Amino acid sequence: MSQGVSSAAEIKEAAKQIAQLEQAVSKVIVGQQDVVRQVILTLIAAGHGLIEGVPGVGKTLLAKALATAVGGKFSRVQFTPDLMPSDITGHLMYDVKTSEFEVRRGPVFCNFLLSDEINRAPAKTQSALLEVMQEQQVTIEGTSYALAPPFIVLATENPIEQEGTYPLPEAQLDRFLLNIKIDYPQHDDEVAIVKQVTNASKGDKLDVSQIEQQLTPEQVIALQNIAAKLYVDEQIVQYAVNIVAATRNRNGIDVGAGPRGSIALLRAARANALMNGNEFVTPDDVKSVASSVLRHRIRLNADLEIEGYPVDRVVADILREVEAPRI
């Protein structure tokens, strides 16, 4: 693939800016450094993230903190069975004073959209969000409205409660660049969180006031452009495709990842390389993002699910078996 135009100095400066962003967000997201990194990686790769975790582990705070750190507009939508597409996208409303219809823009007109418990909304509403994620635009009564970049959807799923939920269509799952798992914090980290939240504050309001803005939305777009142009050797492309292809003809996997999985693997690997300050993508960049890129694009057969064999272990097995190039 063609060489990017960014210089070594530009890449080094970009990595420095990303590190400052990561450090700022980590001030309020205690003990979840890997999760913070993956969400920022999703942003740098201009993708969307599906976050899985039980309630109360900081998913909303994470999205809000990231929006604050880049000076972006944040919106949150609580998905429920009665949520309508217009509740997300917006609608036309008749203005009695002007005797004209005007557009009331929905919460998707933002930079960071937190879609809380996305699997609680019916398919029609999920489809409306799918268009927004894929096209970066909203259609209201036949008229399309482009969303201002950067735009990232962070959707959450509760892996425990399944009652009253609607399975996400595979087409929509495939639109998420990464599937990010967030677990309970370690004991010492939880102690720090409790102290942080209860120190001279009422209730459990999410406090992002201590986060200073590190970047502007325009700077985020510039970082996304640098990541998109980072050099990828032809052998790395072959390696990524071989990994994804291995998910399609493997015992224990009913449905493997499609071509969008290969594309996502390279996009995420580029962002990972930039975060590390590298001028090109290495096999280790591909390996480090493989689980998050592929775990929601693979469906195991009933036997492995009954045995409790995790998807991440299947991906790890594939990474051991597929030979990495030496570059």
List the structure tokens of 282. 């290495």
Give domain status of residue 251, yes or no.
yes
Q: What is the CATH number of the domain that holds 198?
A: 3.40.50.300
Give domain status of residue 8, yes or no.
no
- Digit-coded pLDDT (tens) for 280-297: 999 999 999 999 999 999
56 torsion bin: left (phi>0), alpha (psi -120 to 50), beta (else): left
Looking at the chain, the whole-number percentage of residues with pLDDT higher than 90 is 54
Domain that holds residue 161: 25-217
Pick from 91-95, 212-216, 244-248, 253-257: least confident: 91-95
Element (H, E) at 226: helix 217-228
Give domain status of residue 9, yes or no.
no
Q: What is the CATH number of the domain that holds 311?
A: 1.10.8.80
Residue 317 sits at the vertex; the CA angle it makes with 228 and 32, to the nearest 5 degrees, is 60
Residue ranges of alpha helices (H) inside 54-141 are 59-69, 85-89, 123-135
For 136, the 3-state DSSP assignment is coil
For 116, the 3-state DSSP assignment is strand
Give domain status of residue 15, yes or no.
no
For residue 161, give the nearest of 79, 85, 84 by alpha carbon. 79
pLDDT level of residue 223 (50, 70, 90 thresholds): very high
Looking at the chain, the whole-number percentage of residues with pLDDT higher than 70 is 91
CA distance 86 to 132: 12
* 106: exposed, middle or buried (Cβ count in 10 Å: 0-12, 13-18, 19+): buried
CA distance 259 to 114: 27
Instruction: Please indicate, yes or no, whether residues 160 and 188 belong to a single structural domain of this protein.
Output: yes
Give domain status of residue 7, yes or no.
no
pLDDT at 285: 98
pLDDT at 228: 96
Give domain status of residue 4, yes or no.
no
Please give the tally of structural domains in the chain.
2
pLDDT at 143: 85
pLDDT at 5: 63
pLDDT level of residue 203 (50, 70, 90 thresholds): very low
Per-position DSSP letters for 10-73, written without gaps between them: HHHHHHHHHHHHHHHHHTTSTT-HHHHHHHHHHHHTT--EEEE--TTSSHHHHHHHHHHHTT--
Instruction: Please indicate, yes or no, whether residues 274 and 242 belong to a single structural domain of this protein.
Output: yes
For 223, the 3-state DSSP assignment is helix
Question: What is the average per-residue pLDDT within 146-173?
Answer: 79
pLDDT at 159: 66
List the structure tokens of 181. 């798992």
Instruction: Please indicate, yes or no, whether residues 53 and 179 belong to a single structural domain of this protein.
Output: yes
| Boundary-marking domain end, from 172, 190, 217 | 217
| Boundary-marking domain end, from 217, 246, 278 | 217
Residue 1 above 50 pLDDT?
no
Instruction: Please indicate, yes or no, whether residues 195 and 238 belong to a single structural domain of this protein.
Output: no
Residue 30 above 50 pLDDT?
yes
* 127: exposed, middle or buried (Cβ count in 10 Å: 0-12, 13-18, 19+): middle
pLDDT at 124: 84
